[in-house]
Amino acid sequence: MSWAWFWPEGFYTIVMIFVFAFGAFAFKLPIAVAMAFAAIVGAAVGGAGFPLRHLIEGEFGYLNTIMVICTAMIFMKVVQKTGLLDALSAWVIRKFRHSPVILSVGIMIIIMLPGMITGSSTAAVLTTGALVSPVLITLGLSKVRAAAVVSMGALLGMIAPPVSIPAMIICAGVDIPYVGFAIPLIICTFPLAVVFALTMIYPGITSGNRDFAALEKHLFEMERNPLTFRLFLPVIVLVALFAAEQFLPGYVSLGMPLIFLISALSGLFSGTEWKVIDTITEAVDDALPVMGILMGVGMFIQIMTLIGVQGFIVVSALSLPSWTLFVGIAVTMPLFGAVSSFGSASVLGVPFLLALLNYNSIIVASALSLIASLGDLMPPTALAGIFAAQVVGEENYFRVLKLCLLPGLCVALWGLAVIFMSPTIAGWLF
């Protein structure tokens, strides 16, 4: 251990991490509450007393991101309640059921969609993951493999554009705008999505063990609403508003939360009946755990900065040899993500990005957010793995995590490769 860790800031770092881990794992406190408690203890140990102003300021430090998550979840629930998710999934399966390569990739993208819109892997698992997993099983995959597919798809969806919460958190930590991330995030996620589709889904659906009668039953249940222009209206409005803001910045500047709300409101004209108040309530209820974590992370980071811990971690990262730095990225970010992938992006993503300023910052931030997403597969929290196991009815979620080991390693290696290639990629893009 370096002697730097015996400096006051190193001691504060150890105390805050220990208090958080003790609260989260020993007392089973919610992640957000454990982070807030660690921030309060850290401030007291660091000589700042009880800095109420800093705690409140940190709590609302990610307010814009919280608003994006909440409104995106409302939009996602509207799309789900109108039946678009079900109908679109059924159409893809019927259209490409005799083209297993295209079907495999299509199913993976369907799993990713809610994560791409909400920035939450949990949202992807509990919506399209729950929708597609019975279909995967009837197509020939085992329950455990179907859960592993859903877990990896949810992770990639969380990082893919347009909404990547870990990338937004890293941007907020270094004061760079969340602009120009679409293509770098696509480079980080979609090649892996194709690889995982062809290695995890394709072999199962070509094994000849498909239950066509059960498949037809599932598809019939999913096709309660036919695909029409009106059913696609919320998505069309969303794409149109994003495009207008991108290509007409001088005339259209709505912001992501308002775009999601307007698009969700257009669901009233989709030609299907759904309860507005119940849908919004359910969406906010589903988003509360993620929003709470971001508030806890904000308090945690604010106090770390106040007592010098943030600067200590940045200086420590900058002092690492290059090869140690990359090993540290691949190992510590997923491990810290066992606490929270958002916390990993904030606590470790920011100093690692500052240590790699000789590379393109946008591409490096995208790659770091990809590696941080692996935290959702790390026990004991392992949100993506646990929820995916519950969706397919698998009691032992460690069996799911075991199948995710090799894909997870691929994610970490691809993230490092993108960082190494960032000068070349930046030359192509910018």
- CA–CA gap between residue 308 and residue 114 (Å, rounded): 38
Mean pLDDT over the full length of the chain? 86
As a whole number, mean pLDDT of residues 169-189 equals 89
The answer to whether residue 243 sits within a structural domain is: no
The answer to whether residue 131 sits within a structural domain is: yes
Band (430; pLDDT cuts 50, 70, 90): low
Q: What pLDDT score was predicted for residue 339?
A: 67
pLDDT at residue 93 tops 70: yes
Band (192; pLDDT cuts 50, 70, 90): very high
As a whole number, mean pLDDT of residues 25-37 equals 84
The two tokens of residue 320 are 């690492």
DSSP SS3 for 57: helix
| Higher pLDDT among residues 263 and 83, named by residue | 263
As a whole number, mean pLDDT of residues 332-351 equals 81
Q: What pLDDT score was predicted for residue 3?
A: 46
As a whole number, mean pLDDT of residues 374-396 equals 84
The answer to whether residue 225 sits within a structural domain is: yes
As a whole number, mean pLDDT of residues 190-209 equals 89
The answer to whether residue 109 sits within a structural domain is: yes
The answer to whether residue 312 sits within a structural domain is: yes
Q: What pLDDT score was predicted for residue 190?
A: 97
Summary count for the chain: helices (H), strands (E): 25, 0
Output DSSP code: residue 380.
T
As a whole number, mean pLDDT of residues 83-98 equals 86
As a whole number, mean pLDDT of residues 65-91 equals 88
The answer to whether residue 258 sits within a structural domain is: no
As a whole number, mean pLDDT of residues 338-367 equals 86
pTM beyond 0.85: no
Q: What pLDDT score was predicted for residue 27?
A: 83
CB contact set of 25 (below 8 Å; sequence gap of 6+): 380
Query: Which residues span the domain enclosing 160?
Result: 3-231+270-429
The answer to whether residue 261 sits within a structural domain is: no
In total, how many domains does the chain have?
1
Q: What pLDDT score was predicted for residue 1?
A: 43
3-state helix, strand, coil in the chain (%, to 5): 80, 0, 20
User: What is the DSSP secondary-structure string of 307-348?
Assistant: TTHHHHHHHHHHTS-HHHHHHHHHHHHHHHTTT-HHHHIIII
Rounded percentage of the chain residues whose pLDDT exceeds 70: 96
Q: Which of 94-98, 206-210, 254-258, 407-411 has the lowest mean pLDDT?
A: 206-210
Band (368; pLDDT cuts 50, 70, 90): very high
As a whole number, mean pLDDT of residues 100-112 equals 93
pLDDT at residue 191 tops 60: yes
The answer to whether residue 414 sits within a structural domain is: yes
| Per-residue CA distances from 18 to 30, 39, 43, 48 (Å) | 15, 11, 14, 19
- CA–CA gap between residue 210 and residue 204 (Å, rounded): 9
User: For residue 243, what is the enclosing H or E element?
Assistant: helix 233-247
- CA–CA gap between residue 36 and residue 51 (Å, rounded): 12
- CA–CA gap between residue 417 and residue 412 (Å, rounded): 9
